[in-house]
A = this chain, B = another copy of it.
Amino acid sequence: MSDAYYLHLTDRLRDLLETPEAFGDDRLPSERMLAERFRTTRVTLRQALAQLEGEGRIHRSNRRGWFVSPPPLDYDPTRDAGFNDYVQAQGRRPRTEVLLTDIRPHRPAAEALGLPIDHPFHHIRRRRFVDDRAVLSESLWVVPERAPRLLEGDFTASLWGQLRDRWGVTLAHRSLRLYSEALRAQEAEELGVAAGTAGLSLRRAIFDAHHRPVEYDEEHWLHNALCITVDLENTA
């Protein structure tokens, strides 16, 4: 069966990808060479490569062939770690670039936080890197009443850490929405990919211990850069 063979081939390729010395760099041999090496047809080989692409193990680069993908970053939204902490905990190198800070209303933030739609926010736009690859473009909308003069701070570090340390704000209630999206032109450009590339959108509305609105943020992650992981125990 061709079906069974392509799955077998996928397993063999997957093993190869897990052997660091298999390739000189992160680029796979050409499809022609791979087909010869595994004594298979280009059609079957492409089925196996597509399977591995779907699993996030490899990615295509326009006209330059197939590349081994860096492992996605694991992120558990039920825990309270900031970007710098969970990137470093996985042995990777975080970096943050502040693209813009200003004060402006933002309707989705106002709606999510239960504020009038013309309510102004402290707005911070950042780009974040893992091992020098831009993986995340985000906008943060902070309620000025919770953190006056916020924009005088340094936002390459943790915003949540500053809210806690400078204004004593606790992030007591968080509401998350997460979905797959096609990246818009602006985020795609910031992440160095084509508009329409698959991305993962994460939106959070955060309230303090007195149920007062604190912050709303919109994160746009590069396809395959992030894997959401959650461990759940049922006591029932």
Contact = CB atoms under 8 A, between A and B. Distances in A.
A182 interface: yes
Contacts of A47: 185
A106 B50 CA distance: 18
B224 A180 contact: yes
Contacts of A187: 54
Number of copies: 2
A175 interface: yes
Interface string A165-187: 00000111111111111111101
Contact of A236 (B11, B56, B170, B183): B170
A227 B166 CA distance: 34
A112 to B, nearest CB: 12
Contact of A232 (B173, B182, B200): B173
Nearest to A4: B104
Interface string A209-236: 0000000000001011011111111101
B227 A182 contact: no
B177 A227 contact: yes
A120 interface: no
Output the residue of A51, A56, A179, A226 with the most chain B CB within 10 A. Answer: A179
A198 B11 CA distance: 24
A73 to B, nearest CB: 10
12 contacts: A11-B107, A55-B181, A72-B179, A172-B233, A172-B234, A173-B232, A175-B231, A176-B231, A178-B230, A179-B226, A182-B198, A198-B198
